[in-house]
Amino acid sequence: MARTASLSGFPEWLPEERLVELHVLDTLRRTFELHGFSSIETRAVETVGQLLRKGEIDKEVYGLSRLQDDDGTPGSDTGKTDPHALALHFDLTVPFARYVVENAGYLAFPFRRYQIQKVWRGERPQEGRAREFTQADIDVVGDGDLPFRYDVEIALVIAEALNALPIPDFLLRINNRKLAEGFYTGIGLTDTAGVLRSIDKLEKIGPAKVAELLRSELGATEDQAQAALKLAGIRTPDTSFVEQVRALGVSNDLLEEGLNELEQVIAAAVQRAPGRVVADLSIARGLDYYTGTVVETILVGHEQLGSICSGGRYDALASKGNRKFPGVGLSIGVTRLVSRILSQNLASASRSVPTAVLVALNSDDSWGAAQDVAAALRSRGISTEVAAKAEKFGKQIKFADRRGIPFVWFTDDDGKHQVKDIRTGEQHDADPADWTPAEEDLRVHVTTN
């Protein structure tokens, strides 16, 4: 992790680091499929109009154009004004919404999907923020309506998935946009989206500057600004937030609906994922398409990294005529997580290559027989390489050691087989038809340090 990248913001892992990333991806994939989520992949490119129709992040979107037009002239920069111009997707939710609309006739609703892909954002690179990175999303989308119970289920699935990763303790911080918007309306602030965007900056700029934003940009009075900050200051590990909100003395139907929904999520999480979830009424989420439950997740002790998993309920992102496709989902920042795991040495792979055995050569003429041995081992799931040259055995052993391969296989001229554990020096007779290394050596294992 000390390497200097030739192009910042586009991470490239060493083989042993990639094994850690693959472990994270495989763990997430396995957990999602255990809960019945189907895998899909959408194209990397969308139209600018599609990408920017909900939430303004145009400064971060990478436009896509050819270096030359059909007539050979330099490509034109029309992406900023032409909604039909192409751009790389900045998240997976907007492409997924488009995918649902286009394939609605072929999907069974509620549709449960997971999606693990690269996304691109034109951000200033730093740890936890890359320009090209991998996200792992899960969503449930309904046709016409989507029971609120899926909001609860999504949070529990993510808690289970994160709990299986080699990471420190984490905390899902959950709020509800209906609760917040109903409260702001109840105190007389009509631009609720604007208030949410200001509250979303609370951890970055602090309460005093947020209050100033509310007064200067949204026309809030001092009392209104302080009431909004009091709401954002409520944080509980249980459902006691309900009493604290009601104690603020604001009455609004949307507020009550949001309180009820958030209470259900927190009550279920306290029971099934104790210690992993808090009600945090400062969570707003900047994108405009969220309409109910909103979630951000932090690593305890690594709060400066920012959210490693976020998302929520969206009721109006996908539609086709009068047909609505409400959904709820969460997105894990895989690259952000892996970057922290590697930079802080939180976990490591048991070896740097998948290979468990190197088949040594007695002579160049023994290469064919060595391939037969390798094929027998591979047929039983043992990752095996064959030496390329019949060098002295000491050199072949050093090659295996340099590669991180634990075992070297020898076959003498009489066809007798032996395998050597080069870590301990132990060597014994073996048969390629039935020899198997110990489970901890059969495959690469990623363990917490």
> What count of other Cβ atoms lies within 10 Å of the Cβ of residue 160?
16
Q: Is 195 helix (H, G, I), strand (E, B) or coil?
A: helix
pLDDT at 298: 95
Residue closest to 269 by CA, chosen among 200, 170, 166, 135: 170
* Beta strand pairing call for 384-386 and 357-359: parallel
55, pLDDT greater than 70? no
- CATH 3.10.105.10 describes domain 15-45+104-348: no
Per the CB < 8 A criterion, the answer to whether 431 and 417 are in contact is: yes
Range among 64-78, 199-213, 376-390 with highest mean pLDDT value = 376-390
Residue closest to 308 by CA, chosen among 115, 151, 135: 135
Q: What is the pLDDT of residues 235-290, one digit of tens each?
A: 999 999 999 999 999 999 999 999 999 999 999 999 999 999 999 999 988 667 88
Q: Which of 17-21, 312-316, 334-338, 370-374 has the lowest mean pLDDT?
A: 312-316
Binding-site residues, in ranges, read 91-93, 121, 135, 139, 285, 289-290
List the domain boundaries for the chain: 15-45+104-348, 46-88, 357-448
**Identity (one letter) of the amino acid at 82?**
D
pLDDT at 284: 85
Q: What is the pLDDT of residues 369-418, one digit of tens each?
A: 999 999 999 999 999 999 999 999 999 999 999 999 999 999 998 889 99
Residue closest to 283 by CA, chosen among 254, 256, 306: 306
82 band by pLDDT with thresholds 50, 70 and 90: confident
Q: What is the mean pLDDT of residues 174-182?
A: 95
**Identity (one letter) of the amino acid at 348?**
S
4, pLDDT greater than 70? no
Structure tokens at 253: 């139907």
pLDDT at 289: 80
119 band by pLDDT with thresholds 50, 70 and 90: very high
Question: Across all residues in the chain, what is the average pLDDT?
Answer: 92
DSSP 126: B
What is the Cα–Cα distance from 148 to 293, expressed in whole angstroms?
Answer: 9
Q: What is the mean pLDDT of residues 73-100?
A: 80
Binding-site residues for L-histidine, in ranges, read 91-93, 121, 135, 139, 285, 289-290
Superfamily of domain 357-448: Anticodon-binding domain (3.40.50.800)
159, pLDDT greater than 80? yes
pLDDT at 74: 59
What is the Cα–Cα distance from 421 to 397, expressed in whole angstroms?
Answer: 10
What is the Cα–Cα distance from 22 to 446, expressed in whole angstroms?
Answer: 10
76 band by pLDDT with thresholds 50, 70 and 90: low
